[in-house]
Structure 1
Amino acid sequence: MTQRAGTPPVGRDVSGRGPAVTAGGLLASVLLGLPVLAAVLGPLVAGPVGPPPDSTALPSRPPGPGHPLGTDVLDRDVLALVLHGGGSVLGGTLGALLLCYAVAVPLGLVAAGPRRTLDETVMRALDLLLALPGLMLLLTLAATGRRGWVWLVVVAAVLQVPSVARLVRAAALAPGCRTVVEALRMQGRGWAYVHLRHLTRELAGPLATDAGARFSGVLYLMASANFLGLGLPSSSPDWSVLIQRNSDALFTQPAAVLVPAALLMSLCVGGNLCVDRALARWRAAV
């Protein structure tokens, strides 16, 4: 379909200076921005999370003066808990993703190299790791006393390494990539130049697409572990821990469950929408 003269390009504002603000883009920014702002700025503006030392009130109080979202089962202010609890969610998920890609990308590039023996060794070892059920591994670690934020991040990252490494290997072995790689090798370029400069740039699109979907998977895994009591302690203000601790009071104090659940869902959906839109703009620009 041709474009009429004088009509601004699709997706750009009338001045031609940049992408136009659309309803979808605004929705994605709001969905991602709210939980991120709560996680980053919340601890700076939130009050104390513990109950008043002289408080004799009943727990799970509904919203009222001094407690806009009510209190939880330990008589703690839900708003303060929510503002303090996003850091472990966002930091843990991003930390697990960064650790996963830092390990998986070099492994995938090594497996895609010319040595078939090394390729088989790496891939078969990753197949064994791929067969491990995530929650079962976390349950085993929790039973041996190895629980906490660090263990949760490490396990979540390790469990994602096999699939990311396979993705990197498959993309690096694509015909287009292999042709350019062979040409660079004939020019005398070293391994670091070929793989870390050229192939990494070629893999940016597939890895960005994978990161959007994998963010949701890592978030789901970590939230499930915390909900089942396999990660952070029950006194933590983490959003998934709040959902688990207050699930019995859902009908008497729903804000203690629905607010952290809504923030988790908003973080997951908003992250995927923003990645999709960023990739769409990148494809249009190349």
Structure 2
Amino acid sequence: MTRPPTTAADEAATRRRRPWTGLTLLGVPLIMALLGPLAAGDDFPLPDVVPSQPPGSGHPLGTDVLGRDALTLVLEGGASVVGSALAALTVGTLLGIPLGLLAAGPRRGLDEAVMRTMDLVLAFPGLLVLMTLAATGRRDWLWLVTVAGVLQVPAVARLVRGAVLAPGTQTVVEALRMQGRGWAYIHLRHLAREVAAPLATDAGGRFSTVLYLLASANFLGLGLPSSSPDWAVLIERNSDALFTQPAAVLVPAGLLTSLCVGGNLLVDHVIARERNRR
């Protein structure tokens, strides 16, 4: 049986439905990250609680390998995941934008120096850098977020440089210079508007990249301590009890997956809408 051809109305309906899927997948872990710590109780192990206990009375998701309530840990762990990813994304953006603007300036030598430095940073694997820091004892939250943010700088700088060096943008910049406009007016008023849309779109997809890097580091024990309720840490700590207490692993894993997939769906929808508008 052959499928009927897709009409324009069907495609429009599909585009209208798509954001709700992304919003739902992204909204559930975000709401849990924001409101979860307020609803969570005490996460310390109780003396009469059995470690890796399956879901039951008093423990809807069971307990973890330390005898702590798994639901309480899941409610508390989202704030660490989302906060770390947003902080690293902010670091990469704040450092990448001025470097991209410098590279797009009129000085060719400065462009080469900035871009070759970005190529050098880009050559270092993220997990290898975090492993080196962990080996030297630098494995707290601040180091984790800072390194993850710095590793995003080359991509952000290249994006800003490419947007500023676009032919249409350069034509307007030359016109503004002929009118006597200064550097601050050109870069902070005109060019800022030109790079805002690409940066906003890139930030949605880059959030998943940063989240993947941070979750991988925490899962491998390179980041937060093993007692942290971070979702990636919970997956690593309870992985040995996957078959006896799967909820302690599958629930945080599902929330991490939902966070990444929901963000990617929303970015795809924004790009599709922009393409259709043009």
Q: Normalized against structure 1, the TM-score is what?
A: 0.89
**Aligned mates of 2:54, 2:187 — CA distance in 1:** 58
Q: Which residue of 1 aligns with 2:219?
A: 227
Q: Deviations over 1:199-250 (max 9, x none)?
A: 1211122212221221111101000000010100000000000000000000
**Aligned mates of 1:277, 1:130 — CA distance in 2:** 29
**Aligned mates of 1:123, 1:32 — CA distance in 2:** 34
Give yes or no for contact 2:50–2:63 (8 Å, CA) kept in 1: no
Q: Which residue of 2 aligns with 1:168?
A: 160
Classify the secondary structure of the residue corresponding to 2:80.
helix
Q: Which residue of 1 aligns with 2:19?
A: 25
Q: Does 1:105 align with 2:97?
A: yes
Q: Which residue of 2 aligns with 1:154?
A: 146
Classify the secondary structure of the residue corresponding to 1:113.
coil
1:268 is aligned with what amino acid? C
Q: Which residue of 2 aligns with 1:125?
A: 117
1:184-263 equivalence runs, <5 A:
184-263=176-255
Q: Deviations over 1:154-179 (max 9, x none)?
A: 00010111121112111211111100
Q: Normalized against structure 2, the TM-score is what?
A: 0.92
Q: Which moved more, 1:158-167 or 1:20-29?
A: 20-29
**Aligned mates of 2:163, 2:16 — CA distance in 1:** 32
**Aligned mates of 2:77, 2:168 — CA distance in 1:** 46
Q: Deviations over 1:52-72 (max 9, x none)?
A: 2x32x4210000011001001
2:35 to 26, 30, 41: 41
1:152 is aligned with what amino acid? L
RMSD: 2.1
Q: Which moved more, 1:232-241 or 1:119-128?
A: 119-128
2:34 is aligned with what amino acid? V
**Aligned mates of 1:21, 1:277 — CA distance in 2:** 7
**Aligned mates of 1:219, 1:103 — CA distance in 2:** 19
Aligned-pair identity in percent equals: 68
**Aligned mates of 2:96, 2:145 — CA distance in 1:** 15
1:121 is aligned with what amino acid? A
The number of residues matched between the two structures is 271
Give yes or no for contact 1:208–1:275 (8 Å, CA) kept in 2: no
**Aligned mates of 1:107, 1:148 — CA distance in 2:** 27
Return 5+ residue gaps in structure 2 as ranges.
1-8
Classify the secondary structure of the residue corresponding to 2:223.
coil
Q: Which residue of 2 aligns with 1:182?
A: 174
Return 5+ residue gaps in structure 1 as ranges.
1-6, 12-19
Give yes or no for contact 1:32–1:266 (8 Å, CA) kept in 2: yes
**Aligned mates of 1:133, 1:33 — CA distance in 2:** 31
